[in-house]
Structure 1
């Protein structure tokens, strides 16, 4: 329970012992905080002073060199002291004008003390007053924190906390999310039309850098007319990410310490509640994305298995589905692989923007995250005009949020168990567009047309065909078998060119010749024969479907 306790110099000077004192310069600095009061008349006094400390002195050490007082004022200002109180008419008849000018320029208070009280009396009563107010503040902060904590412990949530804070302050209170959406509000926003209007207009009226400040700040309301001239105070709520902001309306709290303490304790409890909510959300996100990761890796054998786990995410049964994979574009000149969404909050925002944009374009989809990409499974996609809609979404998000996106689009599948195929196609299309140094693009997958026919075949038959084709390689060690398969794949993809195969695999052409001879011995025929070439090419084509 962090508590920031502040005593203003102006408040301290209002106690009776300071009744006869005079502020000679730096009046605008009386809002400085005072944490302690000290007496010192040492020549090297500046080395012993602390920030927010009020110094009482007779200026005895300066009586023979009054010009040094100007230097002392400047040094105390740099240290962050609260002010300088000097008992004149004893050793120093009056404060030099140059010291007063420096204090006025620095807004550093210089106070003339009367002769009636000793410095000891002044210090004693000052410290007693500070301790008394500090004790009051601590007690109030503890009681406020306990009240808000009890609300949470009783099973209630943010609306009740906001209601209790509004009751303590006696003014309207509104809690906004990081998306500027109302999370909770006091009764003013529920019962009074003018407050409901204000709540509805706030998200569009607030400045964009609302959460960039790390300290509370004030805004002056101009509209609606009912609120013109009123002050709105914004208290950003942070932890490891931005959670939102607490907003209060009413008179200034600058001199109301207890109100500020109540707000601070409420924010502590609100932050804890928001962290709990975020933890639950991230856990749900993790389960959702783990499901899609299992689906994309082909770990589900039947459509019923997919529906069993995917129903809660919108996958209710077989239907036409197209996979769209989206990703942030890298900065101009950067490698495509460097475009990564790093922060959870950034991913959440991108997720929400895409969800709203797809709904606006009448596209029904299930959204997932995989690695640094957002995956959208479009259900019953339109037969025409999909690329145009996706381009419009990319343009709108860039104009509204300044985020550059690109999409890769796979081919339509009819069965849930074929989703890994359309996902792989979409990811390959996205990678292809990125490697071509394009930005804000929609890249459709253009695969081999034979693959569409093979999808109609039974998976068990495809597996048997693949296994029978490469059965001669089963007796080899894993490393050697993989080397031969890779060589054959590249060899056929490059029109049986030994030179091009060696170039693509970064090996010597003699190594390619050796591996092809090894394959000829194992398969029992030339690798360039039409029948062998067709069968092996077909096996490589159906491999991604297994």
Structure 2
């Protein structure tokens, strides 16, 4: 706790100093006094402290009172409190130059009446300072006990914030490390740019977890004590919440691992375990899988922190507050994303806020910011079917990345037809049809180092757009036009015919999928 002290003005109200006079530096009467010392020699440079009040009879400078000017200079440099002089015995008169210097630096120059012993002055001053400090310590302990009891009684952040706001008589906010408002008092009070505020970091286990913000710039000693105690108890509360959350996440992670591995659990077992972990059976789920640089998936990485914050924020904005989950599995990141049940009543959204988008749409902008990531999303399912959605997410990445080298986010719904085609090829041979339709193109590519099969696929996939095909292949539009003319010569077909488009689209897609196996 940083004890400020007592002002010079307050000390001058002591009965022992009722006859003392301020003869210079009146503008500095609100300087803080923390210490009192007696000057025995004129050379005080190097041992003055901030907040120090110096008493002197002037004996050591009786032959040259002008040395007091240098004393005032040194007091100013040390940000000391004041200079008190008993001049009658050794200095008949304080020079005007000294008074002018004290006025210049706002260092109070106090003339002490003769006959008052130093011991009486120092005793009364220190008693005042120590009494103030003791009172502040007592109040600090009371605040600490009151706030700590709130933590021990699990009163919650809102009650704690309300108590702190009442103590310091201004609004308070606790902000998470991602910038979200965890709590405010009064509740729902918004921070505006015009507000005058101060903030302090809140840490848990030496890690920055958020900020405590108060709605005023200047705080007195007691308010500063309240803020220091508030930081401590908010840290304790956030640590308690973190431990509880970490335990819950660990339990949910173990449960989800069982589901992802496809262990033989009955639907009833899944529903019962889910309920115990706050996962309601009616929720709809979909699995996302992210592949990429492993460093992105490490704890506290920028990507993982941003991803978890985004998922948490949008989970809370659903029709009902759901609990999604992010888990690392080997070299991949698995997202278990929940939405409310279709039977849930609609959630009232704030004015101007759009309806909640699908998870792939919500996460795509963030995923696009980080290079080298590929993400697949399985189809929606119930909790006991997440293993199927997990397999689908993996297939979405494999099939999607083979068919479109530029995309990084794939959904199983987009590639489901191609999966059926691959499944069917295990029982029915498509090689003869593929060779009949694009065999010549494939042979031409192998002999000439071209990629006409890929060009035809992208041309058909984009609905016959030369510009879009050129963009996907990173070539000029005229190059695509030339290739398409050559393709038509080789296969002898006109791709304006819808049936031809369909057949050749499937054949080229199947060729690309099998080629990459």
If the length of structure 2 is used for normalisation, what is the TM-score?
0.57
5 Å matches for 1:434-449? 442=409
Structure 2 equivalent of residue 475 of structure 1: none
Question: Partners of 1:128 and 1:378 in 2: how far apart?
Answer: 65
Structure 2 equivalent of residue 238 of structure 1: 202
Instruction: Check if 1:278 corresponds to 2:242.
Output: yes
Q: SS where residue 50 of structure 1 aligns?
A: coil
1:405-451 deviations in Å (ceiling 9; x for gaps): 5763315356422344355567889999xx99x9xx74679999987
1:354-383 deviations in Å (ceiling 9; x for gaps): 444578799998632335967353779xxx
Q: Do the aligned partners of 1:351 and 1:374 also contact (CA within 8 Å) in 2?
A: no
Which residue among 166, 190, 205 is the counterpart of 1:203?
Answer: 190
1:1-24 deviations in Å (ceiling 9; x for gaps): x57463333322322223333445
Which residue among 263, 266, 283 is the counterpart of 1:300?
Answer: 263
Structure 1 equivalent of residue 310 of structure 2: 353
Q: Do the aligned partners of 1:9 and 1:34 also contact (CA within 8 Å) in 2?
A: yes
Instruction: Check if 1:132 corresponds to 2:131.
Output: yes
Which residue among 322, 328, 337 is the counterpart of 1:377?
Answer: 337
5 Å matches for 1:318-467? 321-323=286-288, 325=290, 339=296, 343=300, 350-357=307-314, 367-371=324-328, 375=335, 377=337, 404=369, 408-413=374-379, 415-422=385-392, 424=394, 442=409
Question: Partners of 1:337 and 1:326 in 2: how far apart?
Answer: 8
Q: Do the aligned partners of 1:408 and 1:428 also contact (CA within 8 Å) in 2?
A: no
Q: SS where residue 37 of structure 2 aligns?
A: strand
Question: Partners of 1:392 and 1:163 in 2: how far apart?
Answer: 35
Q: Do the aligned partners of 1:23 and 1:109 also contact (CA within 8 Å) in 2?
A: yes
Q: Do the aligned partners of 1:32 and 1:82 also contact (CA within 8 Å) in 2?
A: yes
5 Å matches for 1:72-111? 72-92=71-91, 103=102, 106-111=105-110
1:32 offset after TM fit, Å?
3.5
Question: Partners of 1:234 and 1:63 in 2: how far apart?
Answer: 49
Structure 2 equivalent of residue 508 of structure 1: none
1:126 offset after TM fit, Å?
0.6
Change over 3 Å in CA distance of 1:362–1:153 after alignment to 2: closer
Q: Do the aligned partners of 2:51 and 2:81 also contact (CA within 8 Å) in 1?
A: yes
1:55-99 deviations in Å (ceiling 9; x for gaps): 212333334455554444444444443333233344445556666
Structure 1 equivalent of residue 343 of structure 2: none
Change over 3 Å in CA distance of 1:204–1:303 after alignment to 2: farther
Q: SS where residue 55 of structure 1 aligns?
A: strand
1:263-297 deviations in Å (ceiling 9; x for gaps): 6545544443333223322332343345445655x
Q: Do the aligned partners of 1:173 and 1:247 also contact (CA within 8 Å) in 2?
A: yes
1:491-523 deviations in Å (ceiling 9; x for gaps): xxxx9xxxxxxxxxxxxxxxxxxxxxxxxxxxx
Question: Partners of 1:42 and 1:442 in 2: how far apart?
Answer: 79
Instruction: Check if 1:287 corresponds to 2:257.
Output: no
Deviates more, 1:280-289 or 1:417-426: 417-426
Q: SS where residue 245 of structure 1 aligns?
A: strand
Question: Partners of 2:158 and 2:316 in 1: how far apart?
Answer: 29
Question: Partners of 1:388 and 1:269 in 2: how far apart?
Answer: 39
Root-mean-square deviation (CA), in Å?
A: 5.4
Change over 3 Å in CA distance of 1:355–1:248 after alignment to 2: closer
5 Å matches for 1:307-322? 309-310=273-274, 312=277, 314=279, 316=281, 321-322=286-287
Q: SS where residue 324 of structure 2 aligns?
A: strand
5 Å matches for 1:113-124? 113-124=112-123
1:383-412 deviations in Å (ceiling 9; x for gaps): xxx9998567665x79xxxx9557633153
Question: Partners of 1:75 and 1:428 in 2: how far apart?
Answer: 76
Q: Do the aligned partners of 2:35 and 2:52 also contact (CA within 8 Å) in 1?
A: yes
Aligned pair count?
399
Question: Partners of 2:42 and 2:398 in 1: how far apart?
Answer: 76
Change over 3 Å in CA distance of 1:165–1:358 after alignment to 2: closer
Q: Do the aligned partners of 1:84 and 1:110 also contact (CA within 8 Å) in 2?
A: yes
Q: Do the aligned partners of 1:177 and 1:244 also contact (CA within 8 Å) in 2?
A: yes
1:123 offset after TM fit, Å?
1.0
Q: Do the aligned partners of 1:411 and 1:425 also contact (CA within 8 Å) in 2?
A: no
In the alignment, structure 2 segments of 5+ residues that lack a partner are 341-355, 427-445, 447-512
Q: SS where residue 416 of structure 1 aligns?
A: helix
Q: Do the aligned partners of 2:262 and 2:387 also contact (CA within 8 Å) in 1?
A: no
Change over 3 Å in CA distance of 1:281–1:82 after alignment to 2: farther
1:442-496 deviations in Å (ceiling 9; x for gaps): 46799999876778999xxxxxxxxxxxxxxxxxxxxxxxxxxxxxxxxxxxx9x
Q: SS where residue 205 of structure 1 aligns?
A: coil
Task: Please identify the structure whose Cα radius of gyration is greater.
Answer: 2
If the length of structure 1 is used for normalisation, what is the TM-score?
0.54
Change over 3 Å in CA distance of 1:361–1:306 after alignment to 2: closer
